[in-house]
Amino acid sequence: MKTVYADNAATTALCDEALEVMVECLRDNYGNASSMHHSGQAAAEVVAQAREDIAKCIGADANEIYFTSGGTESDNWAITNAARLGAKKGKKHIISTTFEHHAVLHTLMKLEKEGFEVTYLDVHEDGYVRVDELEKAIKEETCLVTIMYANNEIGTVQPVEEIGRICKEKGIYFHTDAVQAVGHLPIDVKAQNIDMLSFSAHKFHGPKGIGALYCRKGLPLIGFMQGGAQERNKRPGTTNTPAIAATAAALKKSCAEMDKNIHYVSAMRDRLIDEIVKIIPRTRVNGGRSPRLPGNVSFCFEGIEGESLLLYLDLKGICGSSGSACTSGSLDPSHVLLALGLPHEIAHGSLRLSLSEYNTNDEIDYIIEQLPLVVARLRDMSPVWEKLMKGEN
Amino acid sequence: MAYSAKVMDHFENPRNLGKMENADGVGEVGNAKCGDIMKIYLKIEDGIIADVKFNTFGCASAIATSSMATEMIKGQKVEDALKLSNKAVVEALDGLPPAKIHCSVLAEQAVKAALADYYTKNGIELDPEIFGGSCGGHCDSCESCGIEG
C-alpha cells in the first residue's frame, strides 16, 4: 500500500539538502562550536553561516536569531521574557487569542496564576482576529500581544502586519508564533514590526528538535537556563551544529521555492476542498478560505467521529489528523474548533489534511476517491447520522 | 497510544454491524456531545439472543468494543448476557488504552439498555440491582457535558 502523507502541519519529511548537510556535520564537522581549535572553529563557521542565512529568510539580522529546541521552547521563552519586562514597569496585561497553540496558551495560564491578566481575543466563526477588537483590548498596562501567524489546525493567516503596526504605535511588544508560517509564507520581521517570532525547523522539511527565536535588537532578552555562554549568553547548551546547518539548508530551499510552492500547494488545497464539499453532504470547511496556509485543509463531517475517520483513512494509506476528543486524549474536542463556536458534536467529526510540495495531484485524486467512501462507511454505522437523516436533530 | 491487534481487527472488520427491523430489544447509550453513541438491536428467541446488530458513532475503540460485546452475547441466554461486564470486553480485546476504558463501559451499558427494552416490552419488571439508576450509564465517564437522557 502506498503512503499518502497529508499531515505536514504535524511534521514534514526531511529534504535532501538538510539531510546531506546534517550527515556531513555529524560525520566530518563534529567539533564543538565553542572550542578554539580548528575543528571547533570549522563548526562555528557553519553555525555562523547558518544563522546568517536563516536571518535573511525572515528579514532579520544574524544576531537577532537564537537557536532553541523548537517552537514550544521559543514560545515559552518569548512570552515569559516579555512578561518579566512588563512586570518591571508594572505592566501585567497580555493580549492573545483563544486558538493559540498550547505552548502559548499554557504559558499564559501559568502567568495568569502569577498575577498577570490575559485578554483572549475572539477569532470568530472564520478563524480571524479582528484588528479593531485588538485595539479596544489594549490598556495602559498591556505589555505584550502574542498572536499566532497562522493557525495550525485551520490554517487561517492572521493580520500580522496590522497587529505589528498597532503594537509599535502603542509601544507594546509583539510576539508571533510563526511555526506554521515560516518557510511557507513570505515574512519580513522588520516590515511587519514583529518584535519576537518563534519557529521550528521540522515544519519546513528541516530536522526535529531545533528551532529558533527571533528577538529584535534592543529588546532585552533574559535567558532561562544556566550553564554556558552559547547563543550570546542567552541559551546555554552545546551548539547543535548538524541541526542548525540543516535548518538553514531547509529554510533557504523553502524560501527560494516559496512562490512556486505556494502556487502548486494551494491549487491542490483548493481542488481538494472544492471536490470534497461537492461530493460529501453536510461537510463544513473550518476557517475562512482566504488568507489561508497553502497546505491547510480542515473539514468537519457531521454524524461521524474523527478518530475512527483518521484510522480508516490510515488503513487506506492516508495520513491526516483530527481535533476530536478521542485523538486529543481529553474529553473535549480541539480548543481551536470550539473557539470557532462549533458545537462539540460537530467538532468531534473533524479532519485536517495538510499538504506540502511533496504531495502530488495523483495523491489528491486518491484522497478525493477514498475519503467519501470512508465517511459513507462511518455514517452508515452511525446512530447520529441515522437521526440526522430522519430529521430528529 | 496504540491499540491491540484485536481492537484493530474488530475496528477494521466489525462483527454484527448493522440495523435490525422489528428488534425485540433496542438500547442506545451515550451522547454525541461526548463523542460516543452505541445502539444495540436484539432478536430474542426462547430466551436466547438469536441475533444482534449494532450501530456506533465514536472512535475506533467504541466501534471495537461494540463489535466485541455483540459477539460475546450472540447465542447466549438473556440472563447470561446480562452478566456481561466491561472488564470482560476489555480482556477479550487484549486491553484498551486507559483513556478508552469508558468505551467498554458504554458497550456493557448498551447491552443492558437493549435487554431492559426487551424486558419492558414483555412486561417484565426491571431489577434495579442489575439495571441501576434511570441514567443507564449515559456518559458514564464524561464529566465535561453533564448528564443527558
Find the closest chain A residue to B18 by CA distance.
Answer: A381
Q: How far does the CA of residue A306 sit from the closest CA of chain B (Å)?
A: 7
> Which one of B28, B59, B144 makes the best mutation probe of the A interface by having the most chain A beta carbons within 10 Å?
B59
Q: Residue B60: list chain A partners with CB under 8 A.
A: 307-308, 311, 326
Kindly give, in sequence order, each residue whose CB lies less than 8 Å from that of residue B38, ignoring residues fewer than 6 positions away: A383, B28, B29, B30, B54, B55, B56, B58, B62, B66, B106, B107, B109, B110
Of A365, A356, A355, A353, which Cα lies nearest the Cα of A275? A365
Q: How far does the CA of residue B54 sit from the closest CA of chain A (Å)?
A: 8
Q: Residue A328: list chain B partners with CB under 8 A.
A: none
Q: What are phi and psi of A300, to 5 degrees?
A: -125, 130
For residue A100, which amino acid is it? E
* Cβ contact A146:A94 at 8 Å: yes
* Span B97-129, pLDDT tens digits: 988 999 999 999 999 999 999 999 999 888 877
pLDDT greater than 70 at residue B74 = yes
What's the mean pLDDT when you consider all of chain B? Answer: 88
Among B39, B58, B142, beta carbon nearest to A331 = B142
The grid cell for A267 is 491549487
Q: How far does the CA of residue B5 sit from the closest CA of chain A (Å)?
A: 13
pLDDT greater than 70 at residue B146 = no
Q: How far does the CA of residue B10 sit from the closest CA of chain A (Å)?
A: 12
Find the closest chain B residue to A393 by CA distance.
Answer: B32
What is the distance between the alpha carbons of residues A1 and A198, in angstroms, rounded to a whole number?
Answer: 37
* Span A28-46, pLDDT tens digits: 999 999 999 999 999 999 9
> Which one of B33, B57, B100, B101 makes the best mutation probe of the A interface by having the most chain A beta carbons within 10 Å?
B57
Q: Is the dihedral angle over the CA atoms B13, B14, B19, B20 positive or is it negative?
A: positive
Residues of B with CB under 8 A from a CB of A: 1, 11-12, 14, 17-19, 28, 32-39, 55-63, 99-100, 142-145
Q: What are phi and psi of B84, to 5 degrees?
A: -60, 125
Predicted local confidence at residue B135, as pLDDT: 44
What CATH number labels A16-256? Answer: 3.40.640.10
Predicted local confidence at residue A328, as pLDDT: 62
Q: How far is CA B117 from CA A14, A235, A390, B27, B114, in A?
A: 57, 65, 22, 7, 5
Q: How far is CA A1 from CA A74, A212, A308, B7, B149, in A?
A: 38, 37, 19, 21, 44
Contact assignment for A384 to B59 by CB distance below 8 Å: no
* Span A96-123, pLDDT tens digits: 999 999 999 999 999 999 999 999 999 9
* Cβ contact A191:A161 at 8 Å: yes
pTM of the full structure: 0.94
Q: Residue A327: list chain B partners with CB under 8 A.
A: 59
Q: Residue B11: list chain A partners with CB under 8 A.
A: 308, 311
Contact assignment for A383 to B57 by CB distance below 8 Å: yes
Q: Residue B12: list chain A partners with CB under 8 A.
A: 315
Contact assignment for B143 to A333 by CB distance below 8 Å: no
For residue B40, which amino acid is it? I
Find the closest chain A residue to B27 by CA distance.
Answer: A383
Contact assignment for B35 to A343 by CB distance below 8 Å: no
The catalytic residue positions of B are 34, 103
Each residue's pLDDT, cut to its tens digit, for chain A (393 residues) gives 899 999 999 999 999 999 999 999 999 999 999 999 999 999 999 999 999 999 999 999 999 999 999 999 999 999 999 999 999 999 999 999 999 999 999 999 999 999 999 999 999 999 999 999 999 999 999 999 999 999 999 999 999 999 999 999 999 999 999 999 999 999 999 999 999 999 999 999 999 999 999 999 999 999 999 999 999 999 999 999 999 999 999 999 999 999 999 999 999 999 999 999 999 999 999 999 999 999 999 999 999 999 999 999 999 999 999 987 766 666 688 999 999 999 999 999 999 999 999 999 999 999 999 999 999 999 999 999 999 999 875
Q: Where in chain A is the domain with CATH 3.90.1150.10?
A: 257-390
Cβ atoms within 10 Å of A89's Cβ, excluding its own = 9
* Cβ contact A202:A59 at 8 Å: no
What is the distance between the alpha carbons of residues B109 and B121, in angstroms, rounded to a whole number?
Answer: 18
Find the closest chain A residue to B12 by CA distance.
Answer: A312
The grid cell for A110 is 501559568
In this structure, which CATH number among 1.10.357.10, 3.30.1130.10, 3.90.1010.10, 3.40.50.300 belongs to the domain B15-131? 3.90.1010.10
Predicted local confidence at residue B143, as pLDDT: 41
Q: How far does the CA of residue A350 sit from the closest CA of chain B (Å)?
A: 12
* Span B41-72, pLDDT tens digits: 999 999 999 999 999 999 999 999 999 999 99
ipTM surpasses cut 0.85? yes
Among B12, B28, B63, beta carbon nearest to A315 = B12
Q: Count of A–B CB contacts within 8 Å?
A: 75
Query: Helix, strand, or coil here: A318?
Result: strand
Q: Residue B55: list chain A partners with CB under 8 A.
A: 381-383, 386
The number of C-alpha atoms within 13 Å of A236 and in the hemisphere containing its C-beta is 7
Q: Where in chain A is the domain with CATH 3.40.640.10?
A: 16-256
> Which one of A1, A304, A305, A389 makes the best mutation probe of the B interface by having the most chain B beta carbons within 10 Å?
A305
For B8-36, the DSSP string reads: HHHHHS-TTBS--TT-SEEEEEEETTTTE
Contact assignment for A326 to B58 by CB distance below 8 Å: yes
Give the architecture-level CATH label for domain A257-390: Alpha-Beta Complex (3.90)
Contact assignment for B28 to A331 by CB distance below 8 Å: no
* A326 part of the active site: yes
Q: What stretch of H or E contains A214?
A: strand A211-215
Q: Residue B142: list chain A partners with CB under 8 A.
A: 331
Predicted local confidence at residue A327, as pLDDT: 64
For residue A290, which amino acid is it? S
Q: Residue A345: list chain B partners with CB under 8 A.
A: 32-33, 35
Of A328, A298, A313, which Cα lies nearest the Cα of A376? A313
